[in-house]
Amino acid sequence: MEKIARKVSREILTKKEPLSALFFIVLADYDTMINVASAIFVLLTTSYRYAFAFTIQSTAHPTKRTRLFEQQANIKDILGPVSPATVQSYNLPPSELTEGWSARIVTRIAKSLDESTDIELIPKNEKDHYVDKFSIEIPLLINEGQTGLGIELVEVQGGRDDGLGVVIVNSVIPGGNADRALKNANDQCETLMYGDSIVAADLLLSIRDNKGDRTDVTSVKTECLGYTAMVDQLVELLSNTNEHDKIDSATIILTLKRLRRRPKINIRLEYPPSQNLPPETIALQPGDNLRLAMLQRGIKLNDPLAQRYDGKPTGSGNCGSGGLCRTCSVSVLRGGELLSPPKANEKKIMEGSPRWRLACKSWVGYGMQEGEVVIQVNPRQW
Ligand code: FES
């Protein structure tokens, strides 16, 4: 297997492509946003296939960073429950999976001045692709002598002295542990696919001996390792199955990263006849806020006739996404299911106008669905 991988990577690496990688990285203090520094890292290589973007992000305020992560969790709530079946429809063709990965090194400095460094697999094209992360379980038939995973890996970026690289799943070996586990998995489970990259592995050993019943867990991180380093890590992990003779069962949990294309939501905007503007379509991504997206594109939402809920007089401006002024109202003619459902407050404000939504309280791509939403802008003027 290693021979095959080496051959494939050598073929990739020997193709000369005179392209250098140029990355702009902004280093920002998230608390005050005052001490903004910028850095440009230029990595000159003979082939972009093994170019890495090295990003250093520093923060003096780790508590703020924690809050940012909480905001990301909120975006998941906004997107609603995502079915694996929906997400599978955004899988990429194999050719893009081989070429689509890049890597980033992130160094974080905690309040204690302790430094930690992570290396992350990221999409080369972050505009159109995103990385999905999930886990699969593979029970190992160790009592029948099948201690291997039964997964064929291939190195698509590498050749570096530090052992870093990008290794993806090429196939599963028929009859092996992975093959059997995937055949037994139900439809709702994620499965292993060509192009996935193993970023971590946990070995769970159920042991019954004179100390009683227990589960031993051993973990390894394999994100951004080249072929040799990744195989070494996995083989060492699996060798733990030889250290006990009273193993009841053994399961390996693989954490995988998968490249997917970003779903697209087209918003068709229709303007009141009095504005004499042709309809237009804007393309958004899941999690985009409708009001913000429209304002960023220069679309005026302010309805001077809106009846406000904050006690201010009509025509006194907008409430800045507070959900109180109704100046951002739109009428949804089609595709309302692609917007996050209205919460109780919005429902109360919009009583009597079931098609109307507050753009500031509408996020697109609910359930990671893509499609078209047709809306009338400034509905009071129709
Ligand atoms: S901006 Fe005030 S309700 Fe949306």
CA-based R_g, the chain, Å: 26
301 CA closest ligand 1 atom index: 1
Q: What is the CATH number of the domain that holds 233?
A: 2.30.42.10
Residue predicted with more confidence, 336 or 322: 336
Whether residue 171 contacts residue 152, with contact meaning beta carbons closer than 8 Å, is answered with yes
Q: Residue 291 Cα, ligand 1 centroid: separation in angstroms?
A: 8
324 CA closest ligand 1 atom index: 3
Domain region containing 96: 2-261
At a CB cut-off of 8 Å and minimum separation 6, what does 360 contact?
289, 290, 291, 292, 321, 322, 323, 328
Mean pLDDT along residues 102-123: 87
Looking at the structure, tell me whether residues 329 and 229 fall in a common domain: no
The fraction of the chain above a pLDDT of 90, given in percent, is: 52
Give pLDDT tens digits for 232-283. 999 999 998 887 678 889 999 999 999 999 999 999 999 999 999 999 999 9
CB atoms within 10 A of CB 112: 7
Q: Residue 72 Cα, ligand 1 centroid: separation in angstroms?
A: 22
Q: Residue 322 Cα, ligand 1 centroid: separation in angstroms?
A: 5
Atom 1 of ligand 1, residue of closest alpha carbon: 321
Looking at the structure, tell me whether residues 286 and 255 fall in a common domain: no
Residues lining ligand 1, judged by CB closer than 6 Å? 318-319, 321-328, 358, 360
Q: Residue 128 Cα, ligand 1 centroid: separation in angstroms?
A: 30
Q: Residue 34 Cα, ligand 1 centroid: separation in angstroms?
A: 29
Helix extents (H) in 163-271: 177-184, 227-238
Looking at the structure, tell me whether residues 199 and 242 fall in a common domain: yes
Give pLDDT tens digits for 140-178. 998 787 889 999 999 999 988 899 999 999 999 999 999
pLDDT of residue 252: 96
Looking at the structure, tell me whether residues 170 and 77 fall in a common domain: yes
Q: Residue 221 Cα, ligand 1 centroid: separation in angstroms?
A: 46
Looking at the structure, tell me whether residues 320 and 230 fall in a common domain: no
Last residue of one domain, picked from the residues 213, 236, 261:
261
Looking at the structure, tell me whether residues 47 and 104 fall in a common domain: yes
| Domains of the chain: total | 2
Q: What is the CATH number of the domain that holds 278?
A: 3.10.20.30
Last residue of one domain, picked from the residues 231, 261, 291:
261
Looking at the structure, tell me whether residues 95 and 238 fall in a common domain: yes
319 CA closest ligand 1 atom index: 2
At a CB cut-off of 8 Å and minimum separation 6, what does 108 contact?
57, 58, 59, 62, 65, 115, 116, 117, 118
Last residue of one domain, picked from the residues 261, 278, 304:
261
Question: Would the pTM count as exceeding 0.75?
Answer: no
Atom 3 of ligand 1, residue of closest alpha carbon: 323
Looking at the structure, tell me whether residues 243 and 340 fall in a common domain: no
